[in-house]
Amino acid sequence: MPAHLVDRRPELGADELITALVPPPRFDAVRFETYIPNPDEPSQSAAVEACSAFAAKVGARREKKRFRLFGGTAGPSGPMGLYLDGGFGVGKTHLLASTWHAAPSPKAYGTFVELTHLVGALGFAEAVRRLSEHRILAIDEFELDDPGDTTLVTRLLQEVMDAGVYVAATSNTLPEKLGEGRFAAEDFLREIQSLSARFGVVRVDGPDYRHRGLPEAPPPVPPASLEESAAAHEGSTVDDFDAFCEHLASLHPSRYGRLLDGVTRVHLRGIHPAPDQNVALRLVAFADRLYDRAIPVVVSGDPLPSLFTDEMVNGGYRKKYLRAVSRLTALARDAAPAR
């Protein structure tokens, strides 16, 4: 019998929060060699070279310290921070994870939400101490639209970079910035103003690779077909959409990934437009964790793109909603052939 996500309440201990700071399953095997640049977008090839050079610089820093012990001054120079700037679906997370994989250990990789939860669980000083033991910290989805948490993480980065830790990051745009223009880099550097001189910006242009030449999301399935799919795939979960949205509200977003442990396919009954922005943003966070784990999605009810109303998509969180629709579309497409 299929399980229910609403029955799960995952917990993470302090040590687990540190050991869990690695790329999610979808990006566990990615490398620079597996990134396929769009031939029409030269910035993508340039980004691979820039990220590879940054990873090499992280590895060379130890040699620099050793050389200085013997009176030398030569060694790697340049910014200790790298910011990948671009729209959704251009492979920024692939490049971020590849940079992490190419850099030497010890190293840490997490989303912005995971870092804020880490600080909450360990305390600021202990989080700084633990993260300062790493050579590189990679941060995906830096939340520029949350002023309080942005300030907190900026302080955290100040401390760990002062301790010699390199930082690579991607982010979303600020709420008032619409579309995928060139606002992100400017906003990122302004929000981390005290550290902006330590970051170099690498632009990654291009269309959303997830849908190059591919059809749109498959339509919702009839309720009976959803139940058949759930019964046919071991490790499936089935939940009513409204009950599931209520359950997400009871969990910190940093636990959404652990909610999916052992799950092979997610089924949601009766989806419909999110009733408000709080629910919509939780669904965005959940969609990201689904995508990280490459878990196919089957839904009944309204089409997936209708999860977010026109008012939402045309508002301040446009980029997040479009990214979520893009990722959910890809996951629904993954499920379609095997239904």
Q: Are residues 233 and 126 in the same domain?
A: no
What pLDDT, on the 0 to 100 scale, is given for residue 17? 85
Report yes or no on 46 lying in a domain. yes
pLDDT at residue 212 in the model: 60
pLDDT (0 to 100) of residue 42 = 96
**Per-residue model confidence (pLDDT) at position 158:** 95
How is residue 240 annotated by DSSP? E
Which positions of the chain have pLDDT values less than 70?
Answer: 62-77, 172-184, 210-215, 337-339
**pLDDT for res 178:** 38
Domain count of the chain?
2
Residue 85 to residue 119: CA distance in whole angstroms:
26
Q: Are 139 and 112 in contact (CB under 8 A)?
A: yes
The rounded distance, in Å, linking the Cα atoms of 147 and 83 is 19
Q: Is residue 193 part of a domain?
A: yes
Same domain, 57 and 97: yes
Task: State whether 145 and 194 are in the same domain.
Answer: yes
Write out pLDDT tens, residues 170-215: 986 544 453 444 456 788 888 888 888 999 999 999 887 765 655 6
**Residue with structure tokens 């029955």?**
7
Predicted pLDDT of residue 77? 64
Distances (CA, A) of 278 to 55, 95, 260, 281, 304: 37, 30, 21, 5, 18
For strands 166-171 and 136-142, give the pairing: parallel
Q: DSSP string covering 52-100, please? A: HHHHHHHHHHHHHHHHHHTT---S--S-SEEEEE--TTSSHHHHHHHHH
Residue 339 confidence (pLDDT):
41
Q: CB of 143 within 8 A of CB of 114?
A: no
Domain containing residue 311: 211-338
Q: What is this structure's pTM?
A: 0.81
Residue 16 lies in a domain: no
Domain end call among 207, 241, 259: 207
Q: What is the pLDDT of residue 83?
A: 95
Task: Give the whole-angstrom CA distance, residue 55 versus residue 62.
Answer: 13
pLDDT of residue 181: 47
Where a domain ends, among 169, 185, 207? 207
